[in-house]
Structure 1
Amino acid sequence: MIATQTAPQLPQPSQKVMEELPEVQSDKPTDANEHCPGTESEQAGKSAACDRCPNQQICASAPKFDPDLPIIEERLRDVRHKILVLSGKGGVGKSTFTSQLSWSLAHDPDAQVGVMDIDICGPSIPKIMGCEGETIHTSGSGWSPVYVADNLGVMSIGFMLPNPDDAIIWRGPKKNGLIKQFLKDVEWGPLDFLVVDTPPGTSDEHLSISQYLKASGIDGAVVVTTPQEVALLDVRKEIDFCRKADIPVLGIVENMSGFVCPSCSGESYIFAPTTGGGRALAEDMGVDFLGAVPLDPRIGKACDYGQSFLDEYPESPASEALMGIIRKIREKIGEPLEEEE
């Protein structure tokens, strides 16, 4: 089965959820080309795709107002902190870091944490968070997140698919519509932290989340990379995107930094930092370096089983590195971790 531009045929209650996605999200003129940014975009009438379009002048001069933005702002009024996890490069461990950050934040029983997965085409959060196969329930107040703990809720398109192997082949307007639904129709309730897992790149999903959260505020973005230059190339672009979108960069996390042998404690670099790795990139781009997480095969195992690596292997050097990074993130958003006596 392939999910196309129309809503896929899904069993209840998922089918009902998907049918509620607004088809009117395609705000393009009927005679626009396929790369049209849409009339509500800040790039309407200005992008290269608008050249020679008969609507160019109209789109460029028309006021840009999305009536859903005040609804989103009201819905997220009780969300205290919003953190984006970005990279620009796929396979560097964004979702893994998102899960561990979320599990750590939820260690405080008084904290309410939400995880929003906007990687529409590659939703891995349900698997990593141990809630694969769950479905979304609806009520008069909106969609209910899937809870993996009393104080930790998750929302992902992965809950809407009858088969986890189904491909999601959607153009930008459909993706934007779902992200908007996650923000304005999910009954998150009062949250202390909302952690947003993003796909690779600087495309539709990133533009949408930055636009939709602009009024309610974003605390900042954690940018994840691996040490090799082929990853750093894309991460530089992601940092540039954050600056152009006015998203504060909390800092850089270097994932898969090295492999520590469990027998001899010797360290080997699987991905050699030929240009200095994440630390050098942070210095070059003028952002903070939050820390480096060494390779530990048990991280992958914990993600496969939907477990918190920090809980399962607290003595691992990777756990110690992760906790050091998470402490810095909490300090940056004004929520320092209280030291245990």
Structure 2
Amino acid sequence: MALTAEKVKEVGRAAGADLVGIASIDRFEGAPLEMHPASILPEAESVIVLAFRILRGALRGIEEGTYFAAYPSMCYAGINLNFAPKALYDLSRFIEDNGYEAVPYQNMVIDASIDITHGTPKDRKPVAHGRPAPDVLLHFRIAATAAGLGEIGYSKVFLTPQFGPRQRLAVIITDAPLKPDPQIPPGTICDRCMNCVRECPVGAISRDRTVSVKIGDYTYEWGELDVDKCTLAYTGGIKENNPFAPADLPPLEEALKDIWGTLNKVSFNRSSLNLFHHYGAIGGAKGCIRACMIHLEETGKISNLFEKPFRRRPAWWLS
């Protein structure tokens, strides 16, 4: 029996993925070698992207300000280190049982040749002329967009028609020639409501400066992101958004001079990093995930809807 896209998706979902999409390798045309799937598998024909939902309930305790562990434990470490790798392995086994090579690419970076925060290259030698230095860093959101799972929203967070901003991604690169999924055009999910901009506690998402990238058939655009500010807000680097903040946590402008030193002052972050290999995500993505999710649910632009609205009490903010 020939290996088909439909069978690959069926096996991927049975292995635990909520969504499975497929991109043909030509949709990565123009990607730098340091970020190109074919740099890992030169004979690549297809890129398979698996999406695993972030539970809405894992954000509940952060929304209420009373329980912060569910998000980093279940929906960072749980997905990236447990649920997704098992699904990647099972689907890769299935593909290889059908005579094609499958390269699993987990959503965990060990030591990429590009700085994951700022995108700058590291001083590292390639093993041969014409090849990029290791490790190649795939852009998961671009891959998922190319695979027809959704679009990159204005916040730069990846959005699907099913879950909005609530998913994490994993990738398989294969030499199997699989039928690609149609892409979702830009603006299908993100309507530029700008709630992500308004509710970001540090103004990390620019309202007027944008970045655009051609992915396959379309050009997608999102707001320019101040990654340093985003990192601080998301992982508890500002007092107003962190009930675990020690008394000596510096103000934003000072914290920006020593981001990781600031974050390591927070006991919750140290414990989370030790237990889950992730910082605590204490900020709970107030603008880019929670505000976005609330808007997409209210407007009916996603299919995974609930009996009760997510925000049932005023959002908390420490003075």
TM-score w.r.t. length of structure 2: 0.32
